[in-house]
């Protein structure tokens, strides 16, 4: 029997002893989640939680049949009633489905929502790429304005900034209108036609199914061929160009550095107009911390009102890994303030009641309950990183006083058991 974990997924643990597994420690995830909750509250984004699986059709229609996600990476299964269901590979489609289904956009056509949760993609396993990853995503529905674009990008940027991340690149591009993309696709195909045999097998396939995605190829030979390829930016109509310029003006006002990347196309079909991605140097091949863009036609395509929208999704694994690589401030795991060590049965009972009353006051107190010897109990206090220890034996019970010993310094101070609460509240 093989009870080991499935390929491409991971546990998030209270503590991971390996150096390379530090990013899987739960306190780091809590730290990010707390910042996300604080920020989204201030920025006016409300939380939405959608199911982990949906009808397969939803993703096929929204992400697009020609994309890698839909054609190769979906975890699709049939339930007992033979319905085709898929573990969500991303969050946007589900959020749109929920808004349409619950008719939330009728009374409130402007909605700003966020989510945190796991997404599933059957991808080849490599550093920074998992079969279950976690996203912080935000979606702003109802406003088609460069100010909305700027606000959404600024939310993402502020999150990364708040974590202390540096040396990131914000890549920006515009996919223009569907007409712009159509004309560009033909031009790109015409340019590549004489070199078709030289393209990687993946790009040859995309040539037929989704030519724009060839621009995203990581294959060195493809990249070389693409150097002189036509640029999507040159195919934008005047309105789209102006729109991008307006956003650039706002990014400059907000002092958010960016770089125009005419080859940025993103891997989902629902995008229209502006797209963006933030990358970090430290991450190697899978260097995207998050990305998003406008998707002004998706709601209508899914049977909802014709409202514009913009959003992003950010990969929490990669963000934590980058924080660790850049050595940004990350809080230590939580640890007890006090570890009580009773010696003997009478002390055990006394310490237990003391533990409960101190905890009632909000103080993080732990104790030795197994009746183990002093040495072992001290070791556990040390493992838990307790700030203070107090040994309670016959003498302490008689005098009603304990020695509160600070583990880091070894300095002990004597105090009455009854005043432990006030002493601990003031350390």
Cα torsion 220, 222, 227, 231: sign:
negative
Task: Determine contact, residues 323/330, Cβ cutoff 8 Å.
Answer: yes
DSSP β-ladder status, 365-367 and 259-260: unpaired
Q: Which is nearer to ligand HAM, 115 or 388 (CB)?
A: 115
Give the separation between CA 256 and CA 416, rounded to whole angstroms: 56
Q: Is residue 130 at the binding interface for ligand HAM, with CB under 6 A as the rule?
A: yes
Comparison of 289 and 386: residue with beta carbon closer to ligand HAM: 289
Is 139 a binding residue for ligand HAM by CB under 6 A? The answer is: yes
Taking contact as CB under 6 A, which single stretch among the options 122-130, 205-213, 367-375, 408-416 is the one that binds ligand HAM?
Answer: 122-130
Say how far apart CA 190 and CA 193 lie, in whole Å: 5
- Least distance (Å) from ligand HAM to the CB of residue 382? 36
Q: Which of 130/184 has CB closer to ligand HAM? A: 130
Q: How far is CA 204 from CA 212, 251, 281, 313, in A?
A: 12, 37, 29, 29
**Cβ closest to ligand HAM, residue 271 vs residue 339:** 271
Integer CA distances (angstroms), 191 to 2, 8, 226, in order: 52, 38, 9
Please report how close the Cβ of residue 111 comes to ligand HAM at its closest, in angstroms: 13
In the complex, least distance from residue 73 CB atom to ligand HAM, rounded to whole angstroms: 8
CA distance linking residue 111 with residue 105, whole number of Å: 8
Distances (CA, A) of 192 to 178, 212, 219: 21, 12, 15
How many residues contact ligand HAM, by CB under 6 A? 27
Among 140, 192, 236, 289, binds ligand HAM (CB under 6 A): 289
Instruction: Say how many Å lie between the first and final Cα of the chain, rounded.
Output: 52
Q: Does 292 bind ligand HAM (CB under 6 A)?
A: yes
Identify the helix (H) or strand (E) that includes residue 307: none
Binding of residue 291 to ligand HAM (CB under 6 A): yes
Q: Which among 426, 418, 423, 427 has a CA at the least distance from the CA of 357?
A: 418
Among 24, 61, 88, 121, binds ligand HAM (CB under 6 A): 121
Q: Closest approach of Cβ 88 to ligand HAM, in Å?
A: 10
**Smaller CB distance to ligand HAM: residue 278 or 348?**
278
Q: Using the rule CB under 6 A, is 263 a contact of ligand HAM?
A: no
Indicate the residue among 176 and 342 with the shorter CB distance to ligand HAM: 176
Q: Is 285 exposed, middle or buried (0-12, 13-18, 19+ CB in 10 A)?
A: exposed
Q: Report the distance separating Cα 184 and Cα 388, nearest Å.
A: 67
Q: Are 216 and 273 in contact (CB under 8 A)?
A: no
Stretch that binds ligand HAM, among 45-53, 99-107, 135-143, 182-190 (CB under 6 A): 135-143
**From candidates 304, 311, 336, 342, binder to ligand HAM by CB under 6 A:** 311
Instruction: Check binding of 313 to ligand HAM (CB under 6 A).
Output: yes
Window 44 to 103, contacts with ligand HAM (CB under 6 A): 90-92
Query: Least distance to ligand HAM from the beta carbon of 51, Å?
Result: 16
Q: Coil, helix or strand for 335? A: coil
Q: Does 312 bind ligand HAM (CB under 6 A)?
A: yes
- By the rule CB under 6 A, 267 interacts with ligand HAM: yes
| Cα 361 from Cα 9, distance rounded (Å) | 39
Closest separation in Å from C-beta 241 to ligand HAM:
22
Tell the smallest beta-carbon distance from residue 179 to ligand HAM (Å).
22
CA 15 from centroid of its chain's CA atoms: 20
Position 317 contacts ligand HAM (CB under 6 A): yes
Does 120 engage in binding with ligand HAM (CB under 6 A)? no
C-alpha–C-alpha distance, residues 162 and 147, integer Å: 21
- Residues lying near ligand HAM in the complex (CB under 6 A) are found at 90-92, 121, 123, 128-130, 133, 135, 137, 139, 267-268, 288-292, 295, 311-315, 317-318
């Amino acid at each position: 029997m093989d009870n080991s974990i499935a390929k491409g997924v991971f546990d998030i643990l209270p503590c991971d002893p390996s150096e390379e597994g530090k990013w899987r420690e739960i306190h780091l995830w809590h730290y990010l989640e707390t910042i996300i909750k604080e920020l989204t509250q201030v920025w006016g984004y409300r939380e939405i939680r959608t199911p982990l699986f949906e009808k397969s059709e939803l993703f096929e229609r929204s992400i697009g049949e020609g994309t890698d996600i839909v054609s190769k990476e979906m975890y699709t299964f049939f339930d007992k009633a033979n319905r085709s269901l898929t573990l969500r590979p991303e969050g946007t489609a589900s959020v749109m489905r929920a808004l349409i289904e619950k008719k939330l956009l009728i009374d409130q056509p402007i909605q700003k929502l966020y989510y945190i949760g796991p997404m599933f993609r059957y991808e080849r396993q490599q550093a920074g790429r998992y079969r279950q990853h976690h996203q912080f995503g935000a979606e702003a529905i109802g406003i088609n304005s460069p100010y909305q674009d700027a606000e959404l990008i600024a939310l993402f940027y502020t999150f990364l900034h708040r974590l202390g991340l540096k040396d990131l690149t914000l890549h920006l591009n515009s996919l223009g209108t569907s007409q712009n993309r159509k004309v560009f696709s033909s031009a790109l195909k015409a340019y590549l036609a004489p070199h078709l045999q030289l393209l990687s097998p993946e790009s040859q396939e995309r040539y037929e199914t989704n030519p724009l995605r060839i621009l995203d190829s990581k294959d060195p030979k493809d990249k070389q061929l693409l150097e002189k390829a036509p640029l999507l930016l040159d195919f934008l109509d005047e309105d789209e160009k102006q729109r991008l310029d307006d956003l650039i003006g706002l990014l400059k006002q907000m002092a958010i550095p960016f770089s125009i990347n005419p080859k940025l196309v993103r891997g989902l079909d629902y995008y229209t107009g502006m797209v963006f991605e933030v990358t970090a140097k430290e991450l190697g091949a899978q260097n995207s911390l998050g990305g998003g863009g406008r998707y002004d036609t998706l709601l209508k395509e899914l049977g909802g009102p014709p409202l514009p929208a913009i959003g992003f999704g950010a990969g929490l694994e990669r963000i934590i890994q980058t924080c660790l690589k850049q050595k940004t401030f990350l809080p230590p795991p939580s640890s007890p303030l006090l570890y009580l060590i009773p010696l003997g049965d009478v002390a055990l009972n006394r310490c237990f009641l003391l533990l409960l009353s101190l905890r009632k006051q909000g103080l993080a107190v732990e104790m030795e309950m197994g009746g183990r010897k002093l040495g072992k109990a001290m070791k556990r206090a040390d493992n838990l990183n307790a700030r203070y220890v107090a040994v309670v034996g016959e003498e302490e019970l008689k005098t009603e006083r304990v020695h509160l010993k600070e583990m880091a310094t070894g300095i002990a101070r004597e105090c009455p058991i009854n005043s432990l609460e006030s002493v601990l509240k003031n350390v």
